[in-house]
Amino acid sequence: MFAAYLLVEKKSRWCSEAKPPKYQVPSTPYQLPCTKNQKIMAIIHPFKGFRPAKALAARVASRPYDVLNRTEAKAEAAGNPHSYLRIVRSEIDLPDALSPYDTQVYAKAKSTFEQWVSEGVLVQDETPHLYVYAQTMNGKQQIGIVAGTSIDDYQNNVIKKHEFTRPEKEQDRISHITHTRLHSGPVLMAYPHVSAIDTIIAHITAQTPENDFTSPDGIQHTLWLIANEGTIKQLVRLFDTKVPAIYIADGHHRAASSTKVGLAQRAENPNATGEEEYNFFLSVLFPDNQLSIIDYNRVVKDLNGLHTDEFLIQIANNFEVVKTPSIYKPEGDYTFGMYLDKQWYQLTAKAGTYDTTHPIKSLAISVLSDNLLDPILGIKDQRTDKRIDFVGGIRGLEELERRVDNGEMKVAFAIYPVSIAQLLAVADSGDVMPPKSTWFEPKLRSGLVTHQF
């Protein structure tokens, strides 16, 4: 029914003569392969999603697999036989001694999914849908479109990235996806907002939702279905003609793993048409003006052999250092909070210590790294150095105090959060952010919609 408009003529966003997207760094060429009259998949793809029976949605939907360890996932799912953690973290239903990467874990995820389908816990939509997913946290709402996104767009950089992925984390998701043939956790995407898309979404969200519940963490989750073929076609066309690129905000490993599995499936099926479901992975796309990023802070175990006075003297070469009577929360890109020996400080980077014109070097975490973490504390690679750890801002700055006061860490740094505009600028530049630069809240629930191939 939908094939006629899922294959669309190549638009200017795919060609070298295209205008750069809104956040393109001027010095970076925006060029993608362009073949005359080439057919491509649309940027969003409707599919026949599996969804929880309406009465079970709140019990099925779970936090993402990667925000909980095995013990935490097991505790959270306790007493709830239908928690989706039993699919995305299926090791919780197997002996603790078994490796979470054992093939039995992925087989268990597959069998649980199949059992839930046979029991009517999960039900597949009869026709391809798009879905609208709203999250409300502390009175702020963000509304996204649940859709399939293309592995070709991922390969061609129409889906843009800002982080490196780690092979071991990719392999876990590759194994999960390959064994289950499911995209069970969505990728969080951002796109430059389009008023015509906003208008359609506003009309849909004015209607009665399919699901509406508040999870134990106080976040409201609301889901609407888009089943009307005309509305789906209109949204597909708008994304194809008005959205030059989409951006991974959170879920780089899920996107990379899904793409690798899709390419492997394609290689095994030389007669594939390109319309097979393995050519797409599960995403939720939010307009950029609704998303926000919270801080992602640092704690360090020692002062690299320096006494406190020596450390403060060295910092003063590149920062104005002022004691504060209480917790200091950074007020801009070039201010930082530092907690050391039960004392908070305000650090302000001195002029000339950072490059405001560079998409990476202008980031707050780069300024701290280039002027303090690397030259003074000797932390050359935050990705691998065991002396540094990362604390999501959702835990509050009191968590920094706690980890220093209990002797686990010596010094903590509060960092001003990256903006969405900065994230998109980095992605457009073709570069990547320093590790652990962004923390998105609220997290997308897994299990509200599942994509099968």
pLDDT tens readout for residues 187-205: 999 999 999 999 999 999 9
pLDDT in tens, 94-111: 999 999 999 999 999 999
Question: At 410, is the secondary structure helix, strand, or coil?
Answer: coil
Please tell me the predicted confidence (pLDDT) of residue 127.
98
Distance (Å, whole) CA 157 – CA 148: 16
Distance (Å, whole) CA 159 – CA 45: 14
**CATH number for position 327:** 3.30.1760
What would the mean pLDDT of 123-131 be, rounded to a whole number? 98
Assess whether 264 and 138 both reside in one domain: yes
Percent of the chain with pLDDT over 70: 91
Evaluate whether 154 touches 255 at the Cβ level (below 8 Å).
yes
Please tell me the predicted confidence (pLDDT) of residue 96.
96
Quick check: is 168 in a domain?
yes
Please tell me the predicted confidence (pLDDT) of residue 189.
97
pLDDT greater than 70 at residue 2: no
Please tell me the predicted confidence (pLDDT) of residue 30.
30
Q: Assign 173 a pLDDT band (cuts: 50, 70, 90).
A: very high
Q: Tell me the C-alpha to C-alpha distance, in Å, between residue 97 and each of 76, 169, 171, 257.
A: 19, 20, 20, 26
Assess whether 332 and 226 both reside in one domain: no
Question: At 190, is the secondary structure helix, strand, or coil?
Answer: strand
Quick check: is 43 in a domain?
yes
Quick check: is 113 in a domain?
no
pLDDT in tens, 248-262: 999 999 999 999 999
Assess whether 271 and 400 both reside in one domain: no
Assess whether 285 and 241 both reside in one domain: yes
Q: Assign 233 a pLDDT band (cuts: 50, 70, 90).
A: very high
Q: Which residues does 150 contact at the CB level (< 8 Å), separation at least 6?
A: 41, 42, 43, 45, 158, 159, 279, 280
pLDDT greater than 90 at residue 7: no
What would the mean pLDDT of 350-365 be, rounded to a whole number? 94
pLDDT in tens, 15-63: 333 333 333 333 333 333 333 333 445 799 999 999 999 999 999 999 9
Please tell me the predicted confidence (pLDDT) of residue 41.
57
Quick check: is 99 in a domain?
no
Assess whether 143 and 251 both reside in one domain: yes
Quick check: is 375 in a domain?
yes
Question: At 114, is the secondary structure helix, strand, or coil?
Answer: helix
Q: Tell me the C-alpha to C-alpha distance, in Å, between residue 10 and each of 36, 262, 266, 274.
A: 8, 22, 21, 15
Assess whether 272 and 321 both reside in one domain: no
Domain range for 355 is 296-416
Assess whether 262 and 403 both reside in one domain: no
Burial string for 255-274 (b: 16+ CB within 10 Å, else e) reads bbbbbbbbbebbeeeeeeee
Quick check: is 158 in a domain?
yes
Evaluate whether 234 touches 46 at the Cβ level (below 8 Å).
no
What would the mean pLDDT of 139-161 be, rounded to a whole number? 96
What would the mean pLDDT of 439-452 be, rounded to a whole number? 95
Domain count of the fold of the chain = 2
Assess whether 288 and 300 both reside in one domain: no
State pTM to two decimals.
0.84
Assess whether 215 and 191 both reside in one domain: yes
Assess whether 26 and 163 both reside in one domain: yes
Please tell me the predicted confidence (pLDDT) of residue 384.
87
pLDDT greater than 80 at residue 326: yes
Assess whether 126 and 8 both reside in one domain: yes
Strand partners, 389: 299
Assess whether 273 and 302 both reside in one domain: no
Average pLDDT of the chain is 90
Quick check: is 330 in a domain?
yes
Please tell me the predicted confidence (pLDDT) of residue 270.
87
